[in-house]
Amino acid sequence: MVSRFVKLTALCITILFGVQMVACSTVPSQATPLQDTATIDFSTLLVSLTFDDGVADNYLVRTDLAANKLRATWYIISGFVGTPGYLTESQLHDLATDGHEIGSHTVDHVNLIETRGAALSYEICQSRVDLMQMGFEINTFAYPYGHFDEAARQLVIDCGYNGARTVIDGPELIPPVDPFALHSMPYIVKDTRLAKMQRYITEAAEGGGGWVIFIFHHVCSGCDQYSIEPAVFSEFADWLGEQQQMGLVVKTVGEVIGGTIQPPVQP
């Protein structure tokens, strides 16, 4: 015969387990915004979406961006255009037709701190020449890995760009302290949650504003450490679209930097 103590113990365990299950079932979805953004003043804030390298899976977000009237900046490795796994010239023209900015990310995606002389000039100038020969107006540049020194920065200026993006210390000020060393938010990686991306924006707005620059690489299901799930990006794009109705401004990097498009400069 089972003792009363054992029965009571079993009942307590059952009740405790049930409470835990109810608690787990009521945890809010990661897609739930952290707060009601209707109370946030977005008037001192800018947001830019940037995609590095020009990998082929980035083309998937074209629909999400268009549906939410969002324009992004695509930093392209000119020597990789049309090679396996990368966007084709035709796809880049589709993006440009949609109003997106095409920017430069060197010819071969090299570390510019480790590159010197003619090779450095080639990577920075020739990439812009290549992309302009494809028919794109190239206004801004992104340093591979965010690595640059004064020699690389000066060549970005000499090669005709009006601005360049790094990968650290965001958000950036408006106007930026140095348009050739634009600060951005940390890389979006596979475990970056929707709520975190939302917080980058809401916390910047509540902290006095600034320019929140996002960096994306792959858009795919767990294919790479530097990736975002397509469904998560879609939710983020929808959320940004909603915030635009409340005054959030999303622009390409080139739109924020401005300036006249300068002629190509041979390395």
pLDDT digits (tens, 9 = 90+) for 142-195: 999 999 999 999 999 999 999 999 998 999 999 999 999 999 999 999 999 999
Burial of 188 (C-beta count, 10 Å sphere; 0-12/13-18/19+): buried
Instruction: Give the pLDDT band (50/70/90) at residue 37.
Output: confident
How confident is the model over 113-144, as pLDDT tens digits? 999 999 999 999 999 999 999 999 999 999 99
**Residue 168, pLDDT score:** 87
For 118, counting Cβ atoms within 10 Å of its Cβ (0-12 exposed, 13-18 middle, 19+ buried), the class is exposed
Domain annotation for the chain: domains and CATH numbers = 30-257 (3.20.20.370)
pLDDT at 117: 97
Whether the pTM exceeds 0.95: the reply is: no
In which band, very low, low, confident or very high, does the pLDDT at 11 lie, cut at 50, 70 and 90? very low
Residue 29 pLDDT greater than 70, yes or no = no
* Closest CA relative to residue 207, chosen from 30, 15, 41: 41
Residue holding tokens 């812009």?
Answer: 128
How many CB atoms sit inside 10 A of residue 32's CB? 11
Please state the rounded mean pLDDT for residues 5-28.
35
